[in-house]
Structure 1
Amino acid sequence: MRLLRAAAIVLTLMTSFAVPSAAQASTRSFVTRDGAQLRLNGKPFRFAGTNIYWLGLDENVGGIDYPTYFRIRDAIDTAKGMGMTVIRSHMLVSSGDPKTLLPSKEAGYNDAAFATIDYAIAYAGKAGLRLILPLTDNWAYYHGGHADFTKPYGLPESAFYTDPRVIADYQAYVWHVMQHVNPYTGKRYIDDPTIMAWELGNELEGMTPEWITTNAATFSGWAPRQLIAAGRRFDIDPDTLAAPDVDIVDVHYYPPTAARVRADAGTIAAAGKVYIAGEYASNAAGSALLDPLVADPNVTGMLSWSLFGHGDRNGFVQHDDGFSFHYPGDDARMIAANQAQIAYAKALGASVPARPAGTPLITAIDKRGGLNVLRWRGAAGADGYRVERAPTPLGPWKPAHSGLLSDNDTPWTDLTRPGNAWYRVVTAGIKSEPLFAGASETVLVDPLESFGLTSGHAGADIRPDGGHGGDKAWMSWAVAGLRRVRFDVSGGRHHDLAVQVSSDGTAWRTVASRVEHGAITASTPGAGHVRLVWNSRAVVTRATFWAADPHPVTGRPAAFDVVAPAAGATGVIGPQSFSWGASAGAGFYTLTVSRQPDLGSPVLSVTGIEGTSYVPARGLDPATTWYWGVRATNAAGSASTPVASFTTRALPSAPTVIDDFESYADSAALAAAYPRNPGGDVVTPTLTGGHAMQLDVTAGGAGYAGVTRTFSPIDLWGQQGIQLDLDRSATPASITIQFVANGVYWEYTLPAGTPSGRVRVPFTSFAQPPWAPTGALDLTRFTQLSIYLGGSDSGRLIVDNVAAYPV
């Protein structure tokens, strides 16, 4: 989305953005530093926060582009809804790409990129949140980094900290950013108290004492009422502690522990600096991490990585780095982590809004098998949604389903009422505008927050704060089978707006239109293209298009059959999934599994399945014959597969050896099979008498030591846990058993001081570590075993006869 200030303006903001006046903004206080603490209005300022790195430029939109104003608002509102009071954002880490602030040294500055940054800063200020803004990055991600300053001179990245030309370019860039005047606030960035701190860069690994001191002093001189932050990746940079003008020292944690955070905070506070955890793995948030930090005044701020809000059309924006999160949460683990962050924020004095921010918006009603399929865009902080249906826009409105739906349930199919209907989406009493869909038509809603749905435009701009019309401005859309359109209009002279249609998108003709309730409507039968042309001060806020169902139902679904488990299959594990062939014309599928050939008294019955497969939450009883079938349904009727049977695999009766250490010729072979974790303390594996593994640990600063063996996949399905023989007589350490199954990590820790002997740990006792991505336990692909010793003492552990045991 390129933001151009041109003749005609299309309003994007569906809820008004009332920018504070200059007088109001000037009364807001800057956050100040008092030794190792921050203060706001004379009181200590501690905070829960999060990272929303993409606010100025995004990589999650099918390419690199500017986020819509809706997404900026929604993410900031979500952070506020969780009690966050500070956001850290890389939105000013913006170089090296044509859409960044500094595409290249040769191209110069691209001030058009400030549009989303300006808006995000102003909206964050309106919401009462503070910002920490890194100024460059150690890493060459899509938004650029310090290498963009060294490349023009053919220098290595390390020259960023030493070459005078590079340093001058970096400082000139920072000056350009800091001096920029935000049109929403009328303030230079350096005069805006919303910006709490400027960070010298994200995770800068090569900073020298001279570089830190010089730049911190320079930037502090330019922005004397704002703070300067600095830090590297996983530990404390000692040079930041000594730099006089560095106010905040930033440390990152993947994973975090309360002990490590408190120790680092103590070190930084002792040096007279403010401590923050600028990034920590969000999935590690919990009472064990955060509760001990509440009472520690040295811990000023904890900022999780990283928050994503709603998508422009439906659901949430996805970014799978293992640590991104949505609110309220996609699963039980994320929900618990989010609640822990909220509890931490509340414990530090933050308030949490009682109601969601924003209003749901139905963005499309599609057809599948003649049934209505709704997409809606959610409201920030909504716990759930109710889709309501009515025969008229005035009601009577009734729930179209039982219970509440989540943002992950859209698109949602109305399984029970094909035909004409009005719909609205409701959360916490907040109602979307009603939308009608006929029995044989689809609906597309464009909130005009980007040009993403348009096929062309001229003289039109996307702005969040309204605007004016101009000379010969137009926007067009390509919609197959278009029947009628509606353009919601605010202000201006409606008769200056014309609706035109075209069969090829080239030759246009004006069609009759009428004004109804602040909107222009027109019939467009048979047109594949439509455009709106205007020359007035009118502001168009939304476009809605009704079109013919591209796949109308002509009869009940076609015949189809089951695929897997195959009819008559034996030794089936789980099954891990059911699949079947596609039935032409199907709107949805219903899966039924039973012990009876007639599918009576089903143990599994799931309806509303859109695709041709289903993954059950748990496996079926072993050593049992099961019967199953699938029914396809559309608006005209249904069709079913023949009933098929399969038999599940019996549970194992004998242990499966993981490693008995009998196959190693000598200690060198053992050490090659079990390399140590290089991030931990020194541990040496040797083959000891009776062919067991002896682990000798030399204590160091890491506080743990471990070895790992990788296997070709071992099938441990049906086994109940892991057993191993341990001689712990020569070590006081806790012992962590960790394994990887189908790419997912699991671990369990045996406390220090427990006796030696045979140990059994059920698989139900293993948990996914907080630093690792989540996933289901799939024991059919066991690929890695690790043994870790924790603590700060040297010692010896002997391990033998590692196996998976049955019931």
Structure 2
Amino acid sequence: MNHSLSAAPRFSRSKRMTGAAVTTALAATMLVAASAPASAVAAPQDWSTLNTEFVARDGSSLTLGGTDFRMSGANAYWLGLDENVGGVDYPTLFRIKDALDTASHLGVTVVRSHMMTSTGQDNENPLAIMPSLGEYNEEAFATIDFAIAYAGSVGIRLLLPLTDEWQYYHGGHRDFTTPLGLASADFYTDPTAIAAFDEYIEYVVGRTNAITGVRYVDDPTILAWELGNELEGMTLDWINARVALIGSLAPDQLVAAGGRFGVSQPALLAPGLDIVDAHYYPPTIDRVSADAALVVAARKVYLAGEYGSPAATTALLEPLAANTDVSGMFFWSLFPNNDRGGFVPHDDGFTVHYPGETTQSRAEVDAIVGYGDAIAGSNAVPSPALGAPLVTVVDRENGINRISWRGTAGADSYTVQSSGGAGWTDVAGPVSAGASPVTDFVSAPGTTYRVLAVGGATESVSDPVTATGRSSVLVDPLQSLLLTTGHSNVTLEADPSGALATGVAGQTSRLSWQRSGITRAEFLVADADGMSVASSADGLTWVESSTTTTTRDGRHVLLAEGLSGDHLRLEWATGTTVSRATISSGTAGGTVAVPGAFALALPADGTTGVRSTPVFSWTAADATAFYRFTLSLHPDLSEPLITRTGITATEFAPGLTLAPGTVHHWSVEALNGGGSMASTPQAAQFSTADLPTAPLVIDDFEGYSDDQGLTDAYVPNSGGGAVVSTLVESSGAADGTAARFDYDLGGEGYAGIVRTLAQSQDWWGYTGLTFWVDADAGHTLSVQFAASGAFWEANAVLPTSGWQQVELDFADFATPPWAGQAILNLSSVTEHAFYLGGAGSGTLVVDDLQTVLAAVPAPTDPAPTDPAPLEPAVPLAPSGSGADSLAATGTTGAGGALTASVLLMLLGLLAVCAGLRTRHPRPRRVTGTAS
């Protein structure tokens, strides 16, 4: 995947890595400390593998143990070096393990990862395998060795590119040319650059895994080495030479190659190459099938090494599963549970979290699982047992507890429970892992919490965590050292369970933490003999505490109570392991004052003519734990349209489209553990505008003087195919001029024309769009617009061929998979576009694009004495998602309104905000249909 291509992105991926200063600082918190010896890993006998035979090629097919082997694949580019958790750093072993376990639950048999494309220049990336040309960093292999070892233990195999076309944070082929004063194209022809890359290949491929003791070339877990990711300049001679080199180093492993789009012709012609890899954004059945047939005819194995996950549908994948020319489909891309709660975030629009957090993403996951089931045969990978979640934090602030937990691979949902000593009560659930943290609105002192995970018919439960008195609790599983403030003579040993903090035998080992007002600490240890616990006010003078040792569920528990100060230290000299620290801190007693006074801000009391659902805002109240928002048609706030509890920001965007010409009333209440405070005024009112009475002409194409004027107004999307724009005579409802767009769908499989409006338009109060169109059959047509900073898209289904009028309801528009989550706000539309998808070329003719008037509601009593209650808003998220329990989990306000629902009252229309995903850095495109 090209990580840098962007059409009007909201961020720059390059900003994730800010140079040597950042990476040098990050090196201080590397997963395996720089001072740790390379041998600080589990012994080879601690590991086993399910991959005992190599996958082989038989003509255009793969075989394993004499039977056909087809691949359900995932991309997890970050397994060696990550950029998704606050900078560039090595991923924790937990995240690697969780991702591979999640892949197993998805039915994935092969993971493609860029972990070997780890190079740099002049030590700008000291975390890389090769920070400078010809210099190697053994520490960079710690995560790689673990990923290979753990993948083998769960029966997953790996496809590993050796460099990258794109100069992304992990490096690429320019790292073999720029230091030599060469142009990037010289990578394929200059003998010095070629020799440098060959040396890198020999170094990487020839490595022995420090965890398993097995050479990479002897490990069946590595299915294939890919010459590079999306290399665009490969020549036949260059491919042949690299294939011969890898074949001599790793005769039992396969070699793959591919370009950016479609089938690479040099790869197709290379006689010794095993696998041809093609990428699709988006894929279609016809294009994948045609490419696969071409590769198979050349007696090579075909795989789609990347396809955008929003295209994962049963309509696409079922036919491709039935097509034996297709040896594998690899979605982009997989991300795991995060170490401290929620999912690892990623914002390219192609992120897969299991089991999905929206209706669309759950459907994607189901389609991926179905594809894996359909092709697995006798080579299915057994899913690991459902692990236990982990409560990571109970954070008490202003008398209210917020509970965070770390999810577990394969879990469909979680329920957070509390206990005061007699049974368990649900705090929130079932919710997604993404709902972490949740708020306990009762939060009695001394409450114990646990989290239940459900995965299919299996359940698991976390260890309970008690917030003693009025304390907060930090749980550190010590699978990294990132939560500690200091450590010495402690290494993180790779273990099939993740990582274990282990002391160096014969030396004094120390771990320390800093929290405000530490009172109690509990440690899970392999052997408590000789361990001591001390606390300190300044981190310099330490007071040793008495400890007790008990056994709980077969584990040794070292407990220290009566601690004081902000610093905690654990010390031992036996070389034993510590697998968890649970640290309580905070005030022991005292009462919480009610929140301070605050005022409602916008919309101001008495505002009229509101033309869209406002973002409600208010001033901050001191000592507030959360706010409760209420919106109603009645001055006494009875029969509310919406009540939302748990808001932590000072603004909120309710997911409702408000009735036009109507007075509304709203209020906010601030709450904490001591009580509540009403806003000033206690309730404010505003009125919405009346509906428009005439349609808005968006473009009738009569105002362009010539073809160049049309071309200047409708700009082709730079990432799609070419478009030629001309003015033609209209065949629509009225005489005049229409716009004709002749397009070539190009390598990307789509073309788009985008018009940016000179002045924003207000589409509020209309129900949809209508236009006349003549479009080629066989290509998808999508209409897209940008409104109030969010993008919306709908496919236009043409019932007949030829010139016809199309009407699209706004209820049919959804945020595209690459777009940020949003609530439809039509008050400020800044651009609109047409997108075509499929293969080949065609013509689109459009005329008279305008809005559709809303139907006039039937007359009603102008002064009803007892208004009927409105129907509740329809939830956006599916059952079992975090949105179902947002009242219990809280929201961060306008940006986090995950339970947004849309109700067009009086009009009887429902506009559902679907596809809540983050915008990707690729150009906007039509998502299209499967074929």
Q: TM-score, normalised by structure 2?
A: 0.81
Q: Measure the CA separation in 1 of the matches of 2:563 and 2:707.
A: 81
Alignment of 1:29-428 (within 5 A): 29-96=53-120, 97-105=125-133, 108-349=135-376, 357-392=386-421, 396-401=422-427, 403-428=429-454
Verify the 8 A CA contact 2:702 2:736 in the aligned structure 1.
yes
Verify the 8 A CA contact 1:562 1:644 in the aligned structure 2.
yes
Verify the 8 A CA contact 2:790 2:815 in the aligned structure 1.
no
Alignment of 1:498-577 (within 5 A): 498-517=532-551, 518-549=556-587, 553-577=591-615
What is the aligned partner in structure 1 of residue 872 from structure 2? none
Query: What is the CA RMSD across the aligned residues, in angstroms?
Result: 2.8
Displacement of 1:7 = 8.0
Q: Measure the CA separation in 1 of the matches of 2:845 and 2:193.
A: 55
From the superposition, tell whether residues 178 and 83 of structure 1 become closer, same or farther in structure 2 (CA, over 3 Å): same
Select which of 417, 421, 434 maps to 2:464: 434
SS in 1 for 2:195: helix
Q: Measure the CA separation in 1 of the matches of 2:489 and 2:743.
A: 71
From the superposition, tell whether residues 418 and 586 of structure 1 become closer, same or farther in structure 2 (CA, over 3 Å): farther
From the superposition, tell whether residues 417 and 443 of structure 1 become closer, same or farther in structure 2 (CA, over 3 Å): closer
Answering whether residue 811 of structure 2 is matched by residue 764 of structure 1, we say: yes
SS in 2 for 1:294: helix
Displacement of 1:167 = 1.1
- The one-character-per-residue Cα deviations of 1:44-66 (angstroms, maximum 9, x if unpaired) are 11121111111111112222111
From the superposition, tell whether residues 801 and 9 of structure 1 become closer, same or farther in structure 2 (CA, over 3 Å): closer
What is the aligned partner in structure 1 of residue 795 from structure 2? 748
What is the aligned partner in structure 1 of residue 721 from structure 2? 680
SS in 2 for 1:234: coil
Q: Measure the CA separation in 2 of the matches of 1:759 and 1:362.
A: 53
SS in 2 for 1:462: strand
Displacement of 1:654 = 1.2
Verify the 8 A CA contact 1:587 1:634 in the aligned structure 2.
yes
Verify the 8 A CA contact 2:655 2:823 in the aligned structure 1.
no
SS in 2 for 1:404: strand
From the superposition, tell whether residues 20 and 706 of structure 1 become closer, same or farther in structure 2 (CA, over 3 Å): closer
Displacement of 1:439 = 3.5
Q: Which moved more, 1:142-151 or 1:755-764?
A: 755-764
Answering whether residue 839 of structure 2 is matched by residue 801 of structure 1, we say: no
Q: Which moved more, 1:1-10 or 1:751-760?
A: 1-10
Q: TM-score, normalised by structure 1?
A: 0.93
Verify the 8 A CA contact 1:309 1:326 in the aligned structure 2.
yes
Displacement of 1:234 = 1.2
SS in 1 for 2:363: helix
SS in 1 for 2:244: helix
- The one-character-per-residue Cα deviations of 1:376-416 (angstroms, maximum 9, x if unpaired) are 10111111111222234xxx431333641221211111112
Displacement of 1:725 = 2.9
Q: Percent identity?
A: 43
Verify the 8 A CA contact 1:732 1:752 in the aligned structure 2.
no
SS in 2 for 1:461: strand
- The one-character-per-residue Cα deviations of 1:40-91 (angstroms, maximum 9, x if unpaired) are 1111111211111111111122221111111111111011111111100011
Q: Which moved more, 1:757-766 or 1:578-587?
A: 757-766
From the superposition, tell whether residues 795 and 231 of structure 1 become closer, same or farther in structure 2 (CA, over 3 Å): closer
SS in 1 for 2:261: coil
Q: Which amino acid aligns with 1:708?
A: V
SS in 1 for 2:287: helix
Question: Which structure carries more strand by proportion?
Answer: 1
SS in 2 for 1:102: coil
Unpaired runs of at least 5, structure 1: none
Verify the 8 A CA contact 2:615 2:654 in the aligned structure 1.
yes
Answering whether residue 757 of structure 2 is matched by residue 711 of structure 1, we say: yes
SS in 2 for 1:28: coil
What is the aligned partner in structure 2 of residue 476 from structure 1? 512
Q: Which amino acid aligns with 1:683?
A: V
SS in 2 for 1:803: strand
Q: Measure the CA separation in 2 of the matches of 1:17 and 1:760.
A: 65
Displacement of 1:503 = 1.9
From the superposition, tell whether residues 361 and 771 of structure 1 become closer, same or farther in structure 2 (CA, over 3 Å): closer
- Residue correspondences, number: 794
Select which of 690, 694, 718 maps to 1:654: 694
SS in 2 for 1:167: helix
SS in 1 for 2:517: strand
- The one-character-per-residue Cα deviations of 1:749-804 (angstroms, maximum 9, x if unpaired) are 34374342433222233455566666544323323333456778887654322111
Q: Which moved more, 1:197-206 or 1:503-512?
A: 503-512
Q: Which moved more, 1:633-642 or 1:678-687?
A: 678-687
SS in 2 for 1:187: coil
From the superposition, tell whether residues 773 and 562 of structure 1 become closer, same or farther in structure 2 (CA, over 3 Å): closer
- The one-character-per-residue Cα deviations of 1:92-137 (angstroms, maximum 9, x if unpaired) are 111112011111126x111111111111101001111110001111
- The one-character-per-residue Cα deviations of 1:597-621 (angstroms, maximum 9, x if unpaired) are 1111112112222322222222222
Displacement of 1:322 = 1.1
What is the aligned partner in structure 2 of residue 640 from structure 1? 678
Q: Measure the CA separation in 2 of the matches of 1:20 and 1:789.
A: 51
From the superposition, tell whether residues 365 and 667 of structure 1 become closer, same or farther in structure 2 (CA, over 3 Å): same
SS in 1 for 2:413: coil
Q: Measure the CA separation in 2 of the matches of 1:341 and 1:32.
A: 24
Displacement of 1:355 = 7.7
What is the aligned partner in structure 1 of residue 874 from structure 2? none
SS in 2 for 1:221: helix
Q: Which amino acid aligns with 2:105?
A: G
Q: Which moved more, 1:297-306 or 1:734-743?
A: 734-743
Verify the 8 A CA contact 1:9 1:461 in the aligned structure 2.
no
Q: Measure the CA separation in 1 of the matches of 2:319 and 2:614.
A: 41
Verify the 8 A CA contact 1:724 1:799 in the aligned structure 2.
yes
What is the aligned partner in structure 2 of residue 722 from structure 1? 769
SS in 1 for 2:103: helix
Verify the 8 A CA contact 1:740 1:746 in the aligned structure 2.
yes
From the superposition, tell whether residues 42 and 664 of structure 1 become closer, same or farther in structure 2 (CA, over 3 Å): same
Q: Which moved more, 1:557-566 or 1:376-385?
A: 557-566
From the superposition, tell whether residues 7 and 42 of structure 1 become closer, same or farther in structure 2 (CA, over 3 Å): closer
Alignment of 1:599-610 (within 5 A): 599-610=637-648
Verify the 8 A CA contact 2:728 2:740 in the aligned structure 1.
no
From the superposition, tell whether residues 502 and 794 of structure 1 become closer, same or farther in structure 2 (CA, over 3 Å): closer
Q: Measure the CA separation in 2 of the matches of 1:616 and 1:413.
A: 20
SS in 1 for 2:430: coil
Verify the 8 A CA contact 1:734 1:753 in the aligned structure 2.
no
Select which of 711, 717, 723 maps to 1:671: 711
Displacement of 1:722 = 1.4
Q: Measure the CA separation in 1 of the matches of 2:159 and 2:688.
A: 56
Unpaired runs of at least 5, structure 2: 1-29, 855-931
From the superposition, tell whether residues 418 and 704 of structure 1 become closer, same or farther in structure 2 (CA, over 3 Å): closer
Q: Which amino acid aligns with 2:769?
A: I
Verify the 8 A CA contact 1:17 1:464 in the aligned structure 2.
no
